[in-house]
Amino acid sequence: MAIDGDLRAVAQAWLADDPDPAGRDEIRELLDRLPDSEAELADRFAGPLTFGTAGLRGPLRAGPNGMNVAVVTRAAAGLVTWLVRQGSTGKLVIGYDARHGSQAFAERTARVATAAGFEALLLPRPLPTPVLAYAVRKLDAVAGVMVTASHNPPQDNGYKVYLGAHLGGLDGAGAQIVPPADAGIEAAIQAVGALAEVPLGDPGTVLGEEIVSGYARSAAAVVAEGPRELKVAYTPLHGVGGPVLTAAFAEAGFPAPEVVPEQAEPDPEFPTVAFPNPEEKGAMDLLLALAEKSGADLAIANDPDADRCAIAIPLGPDGGWKALRGDELGVLLADHLIRRGVPGTYATTIVSSSQLGALCKARGVPYAETLTGFKWIVRAAEELAYGYEEALGYCVAPDMVRDKDGITAALTVAELAAALKAEGKTIRDRLDELDTELGVHRTDQLSVRVSDLSEIGAMMAHVRAKPPATLLDVPLTAVEDRAPEADVLTLRTAQVRVVIRPSGTEPKLKAYLEVVEPLGTGKLVNAQFKSGATMVQLRREVEAALGL
């Protein structure tokens, strides 16, 4: 079998430039195994990871199409070059989670930053992403870097960039980057020359635990005085959220949560779950078993970097637990904050439930809707009160953390649950009250994971070319295509909405489904049952529309 000479030459050029001995060994081993390793080698050199609004994210492996020391060195060099060109120097805060390679990538970033004249400040240990976002604002840094792949599989890692007030503005201070910053950073990364010529400075300064305790105190201050009697079962899902959430609960006066022992400590292999994402089937099984056994009032899960929050509630005296959808918790938290009198705009995205808009209209508070992603949600309004996305992301304290924060969200839902318990009510009762007032807004998601990204483009092209004429036997009232601004297609009838888009962080196509069932003069239970049956049928029709 003939080997592409260009591929061998490109791999050897990379080998000569890679500063990491382990990375060089990987490439040598692949070169030695040619021709058997040709497909894997070609995949690693298919192109560089692209720096977008989610930063970098990819598999841990040597080569330009992976997360490794060489790629991170180039990314850090491009980032600091871009920052200097914008006239920003000063503090660069760097955080990292407990995934494979995270600490090494953070330390490499610090050395590149100090060589460029920045004051590199590393968080003291593996910590949640919200702590990094908090630190950018608290320390008035020009930017922040968080090394994490959030809820991706164990073989991945990632690199997220946050901007301070100088470049982010008032509504983007401490928030993730948005265009055109991503394109500017990407161009600067591509312009980096040989890595041997990238200067490395001192290792920077490791911050003390005060930054973590400061975050915990600020998180505790998010909740108001009130009842605290609540039994919580909790899992950090093998991630870094446990100690920080426990400290914040103690600061706020809540009893310590009971933690799933098998998932309490950080473990980059995530051995007890297929995917370390509370949205995935089976990910919360151990948590629900603990909640049932311990007689908990509430079950809470964070994802591994603790920027997302999931909850489950008991079904009743007969036992069993129900995990809430992101939309259900999103509207619950909004209603709670509105009842508390928190002023400002309440925001969500075009794929989240329309129930938040109905709630805001009923309460007479400002509402905003954005494209998908927290980078957009937190910029929905300067006076932002709250933002959420259906993928378990909640921002309950935007003046503290201008990003999704699974720890302050957990505190806020605990506050709500404790207050309801003191009144002899439950979270299920409050959900029913909202459905009675606003109508049943049932949401679901159809998610198609692919091994070849071209399959996503093919499915999007298929549904664009032949959108269904009806949904649930009702003619469409609108077909909204947001291309080229965004790869999003929305189909609507009077009571149905379907939003179809590729995932921004995983190899998936997602269809977000919503059915609105007004109560009229009927009973809530009848509307809930009808919406469930309708959703089953809608799911089948959308699968057919995607050619599945």
For each of the chain's 548 residues, which pLDDT tens digit applies? Answer: 345 678 999 999 999 999 999 999 999 999 999 999 999 999 999 989 988 877 999 999 999 999 999 999 999 999 999 999 999 999 999 999 999 999 999 999 999 999 999 999 999 999 999 999 999 999 999 999 999 999 999 999 999 999 999 999 988 999 999 999 999 999 999 999 999 999 999 999 999 999 999 999 999 999 999 999 999 999 999 999 999 999 999 999 999 999 999 999 999 999 999 999 999 999 999 999 999 999 999 999 999 999 999 999 999 888 899 999 999 999 999 999 999 999 999 999 999 999 999 999 999 999 999 999 999 999 999 899 999 999 999 999 999 999 999 999 999 999 999 999 999 999 999 999 999 999 999 999 999 988 888 889 999 999 999 999 999 999 999 999 999 889 999 999 999 999 999 987 778 999 999 999 988 767 999 999 999 999 999 999 999 998 88
- Check residue 67 and report its DSSP letter: B
Closest CA to 101 of 236, 268, 219: 268
Amino acid in the structure at residue 423? E
How far apart are alpha carbons 378 and 386 in whole angstroms?
Answer: 8
The answer to whether 126 and 97 have CB atoms below 8 angstroms apart is yes
191 and 304 belong to one structural domain = no
How far apart are alpha carbons 173 and 161 in whole angstroms?
Answer: 12
Q: In the chain, helix, strand, coil percent, each to 5? A: 40, 20, 40
Q: Indicate the SS3 state at residue 371.
A: coil
Closest CA to 143 of 124, 120, 127, 126: 120
Q: Which of 151, 177, 211 is the endpoint of a domain?
A: 211
How far apart are alpha carbons 458 and 453 in whole angstroms?
Answer: 9
365 and 403 belong to one structural domain = yes
The answer to whether 344 and 167 have CB atoms below 8 angstroms apart is no
Please tell me the total number of residues recorded for the chain in this structure. 548
Positive or negative, the Cα torsion across 222, 228, 232, 235? positive
Q: Pick left, alpha or beta for residue 104 (phi over 0 → left; psi -120 to 50 → alpha; otherwise beta).
A: alpha
Structural domain includes residue 35? no
pLDDT the model gives residue 485: 87
The count of structural domains within the chain is 3
Q: Return the structure tokens found at 4.
A: 């592409």
- Check residue 451 and report its DSSP letter: S
How far apart are alpha carbons 240 and 126 in whole angstroms?
Answer: 6
Query: Where do the DSSP E strands lie in 371-457?
Result: 384-389, 393-395, 440-449
β-strand 384-389 against 367-370: which pairing, if any? unpaired
421 and 450 belong to one structural domain = no
The answer to whether 526 and 439 have CB atoms below 8 angstroms apart is no
How far apart are alpha carbons 179 and 436 in whole angstroms?
Answer: 41
How far apart are alpha carbons 249 and 260 in whole angstroms?
Answer: 16
DSSP 228-290: ----EEEE-TTSS-HHHHHHHHHHHTPPPPEE-GGGSS--TT-TT-SSS-TTSTTTTHHHHHH
pLDDT the model gives residue 143: 98
How far apart are alpha carbons 468 and 179 in whole angstroms?
Answer: 33
How far apart are alpha carbons 361 and 367 in whole angstroms?
Answer: 8
Q: Return the structure tokens found at 326.
A: 């992101």
CATH number at 119 reads 3.40.120.10
How far apart are alpha carbons 418 and 227 in whole angstroms?
Answer: 6
Structural domain includes residue 48? no
Q: Return the structure tokens found at 405.
A: 């924060």
Structural domain includes residue 244? yes
pTM: 0.94
Structural domain includes residue 174? yes
pLDDT the model gives residue 6: 86
How far apart are alpha carbons 396 and 492 in whole angstroms?
Answer: 30
179 and 312 belong to one structural domain = no
How far apart are alpha carbons 129 and 147 in whole angstroms?
Answer: 9
Domain range enclosing 242: 230-435
| Average pLDDT for the chain | 95
How far apart are alpha carbons 216 and 208 in whole angstroms?
Answer: 14
443 and 418 belong to one structural domain = no
Strand partners for 101: none
The answer to whether 195 and 17 have CB atoms below 8 angstroms apart is yes
State the chain's maximal CA–CA distance in angstroms.
75
| Non-local CB neighbours of 265 within 8 Å, separated by 6+ positions | 238, 242
The answer to whether 337 and 322 have CB atoms below 8 angstroms apart is no
* Per-residue pLDDT reduced to its tens digit, 485-531: 899 999 999 999 999 999 877 789 999 999 999 887 679 999 999 99
CATH number at 472 reads 3.30.310
Q: Which of 435, 455, 478 is the endpoint of a domain?
A: 435
Closest CA to 116 of 179, 190, 188: 188
pLDDT the model gives residue 4: 64
336 and 413 belong to one structural domain = yes
Closest CA to 304 of 247, 256, 265, 257: 265
- Check residue 177 and report its DSSP letter: P
Structural domain includes residue 220? no
pLDDT the model gives residue 504: 75
235 and 189 belong to one structural domain = no
How far apart are alpha carbons 372 and 362 in whole angstroms?
Answer: 24
Closest CA to 289 of 255, 266, 323: 323
476 and 463 belong to one structural domain = yes
Residue 125 CB neighbour total at 10 angstroms: 16
- End-to-end alpha carbon distance in the chain: 37
Q: Which of 435, 468, 496 is the endpoint of a domain?
A: 435
Q: Which residues are known to be catalytic?
A: 150
Structural domain includes residue 9? no
At which residue do the structure tokens 């994402």 appear?
A: 277
254 and 119 belong to one structural domain = no
Q: What is the dihedral of CA 217, 218, 224, 227, to 10 degrees?
A: -30
519 and 376 belong to one structural domain = no
∠ Cα 132 399 226 (to 5°) = 105
Structural domain includes residue 169? yes
247 and 202 belong to one structural domain = no
Structural domain includes residue 17? no
248 and 363 belong to one structural domain = yes
The answer to whether 277 and 339 have CB atoms below 8 angstroms apart is no
